Amino acid sequence: MSEDILHQIRLTSRNHDVEMNEEIHNRDLLLIEDMCYLMCGSLLIRLGIPDPNREMNDAFNRELERGRGYDHQELDLVVQTNVPLLNSQQKEVYDTLMKAIDDGNGGLYFLDAPGGTGKTFLMSVVLATVRARSNIAVAVASSGIAATLLEGCRTAHSTLKLPLNLQTIEEPTCNITKNSAMAKVLSASKIIIWDECTMDLRNDSRCFGGAMILLSGDFRQTLPVIPRSTAADEINACLKSSNLWRYVKKLQLTTNMRVALLNDISAEDFSEQLLTIGNGQVPVDESSGLISFPNNFCNFVSSKDELINNVFPDIISNYKNNEWLSERAILAAKNKDVDDLNYIIQNKIIGTMHSFKSIDCVTNEDEATNYPIEFLNSLDVPGLPPHNLRL
């Protein structure tokens, strides 16, 4: 029966290199147990035969379904349409990765690409190619927002069960046990892609085994954020400080596709200025430690109000116009500035503002003195609305 199951797997996955493994024996035992139960209402353990691991099988199938449940025709179309669009650098990276996947030797790759050079586009094509062949490709990203950009992508913390307090543990490891469903999915996957990995803290080598991993990111962008830490702590927490970094094969994209597609000279100048800043080539003022932007870098404003008036002019007559709104945004480095800006903009809109306050009491009354209301109200937890949500 196990041979039969193996044969079926080889046929459906179009991969004749699949070997007999524990998972197949488990599926075999499950089938035998189902038959025994039908025939005599007894489980295998009662008949002196090892019992199957039903829980692992169900969880594995769920994860597997998620990994393989794609529309193959749609994927084939994505591959056929987008592979010819790849520029020469992207095609070279694509061929290198596909060859490494086909050779099955694994490997750790890092795709170093500044914003706009098409790494998301390229990774989508790699994912579609692997999935179109009925193979599993796992995609993870360091943040929820980055995860929305790739099909079937989830956050690295959720998929790899990373510990939440990575910075404070001496030797952090993933909470994935060897026999768990996710471990099976990871070992069955042809490639694991980790987008925006430069934002993440270095991880233990045991997470990766001999798998084929593609990390992608840009060290010129946001590095790991460690609350109340020094710049040295952040550099130390960076992926480049990992022992694994010396094993990483580097791949590069440098042509800015946003600029190439738009054919806009000012966009090209802007992307070059961004690269110069990212590469640390802009002189730093020794007394303040700050850099000065070149005059033609952008339009400078002197106050928040001026910024709002430039980006959202005449908001009163436009705030219901979704198209108008979708074309503009103000980005800020800190949540506090985002809240301040939102508050000023909201105040310009006519209508009644409603305040929604979070619950601010403790469930255990004995703990009330340890958690004063002022403290609970001051908490600003990532991913949750502020204590006083004004809409």
Ligand X SMILES: Nc1ncnc2c1ncn2[C@@H]1O[C@H](COP(=O)(O)OP(=O)(O)OP(=O)(O)O)[C@@H](O)[C@H]1O
- Where along the sequence are the contacts to ligand X (CB under 6 A)? 85-87, 90, 113, 115-121, 257-258, 261
Residue 153 or 176 with smaller CB distance to ligand X: 153
**Cβ-closest position to ligand X:** 118
Selection from 210, 211, 214 nearest residue 123 by Cα? 214
How far are the Cα atoms of 13, 118, 260, 271, 333 from residue 264, in angstroms, in the given order? 45, 17, 8, 11, 27
Q: Which is nearer to ligand X, 107 or 116 (CB)?
A: 116
Can you tell me the distance from the alpha carbon of 349 to that of 315, in angstroms, rounded to the nearest whole number?
7
> C-beta of 214: minimal distance to ligand X in Å?
13
Residue type, 313: P
**Shortest reach from residue 372's CB to ligand X, in Å:** 42
Report in angstroms how near the CB of residue 30 gets to ligand X at its nearest: 42
Instruction: Identify whether the C-beta of residue 49 lies closer than 8 Å to the C-beta of residue 41.
Output: no
Q: Which of 165, 174, 251, 170 is nearest to 209 (CA)?
A: 174
Minimal distance in Å, beta carbon 146 to ligand X?
8
Could you tell me where the DSSP H helices lie in 216-331?
A: 231-237, 257-262, 265-278, 304-311, 315-318, 322-326
- Find where tokens 């039969």 sit: 4
Give the separation between CA 33 and CA 27, rounded to whole angstroms: 10
Q: How far are the Cα atoms of 93, 96, 99, 188 from residue 105, in angstroms, in the given order?
A: 17, 12, 10, 14
Task: Quote the least distance from Cβ 149 to ligand X, whole Å.
Answer: 7
* SS3 category, 235: helix
Instruction: Name 137's bridge partners.
Output: 191
119 vs 190 by CB, closer to ligand X: 119
- Residue 83 DSSP SS3: helix
CB of 153 vs ligand X, minimal distance in Å: 12
Angle, CA 181 vertex, CA 178 and CA 185 arms, to 5°: 90
CA distance 119 to 253: 8
Q: Taking the complex as a whole, how short is the minimal distance between the CB of residue 57 and ligand X, in angstroms?
A: 37
Q: Which is nearer to ligand X, 141 or 160 (CB)?
A: 141
Q: Which is nearer to ligand X, 155 or 180 (CB)?
A: 155
Q: Min. distance of Cβ 216 from ligand X in angstroms?
A: 8
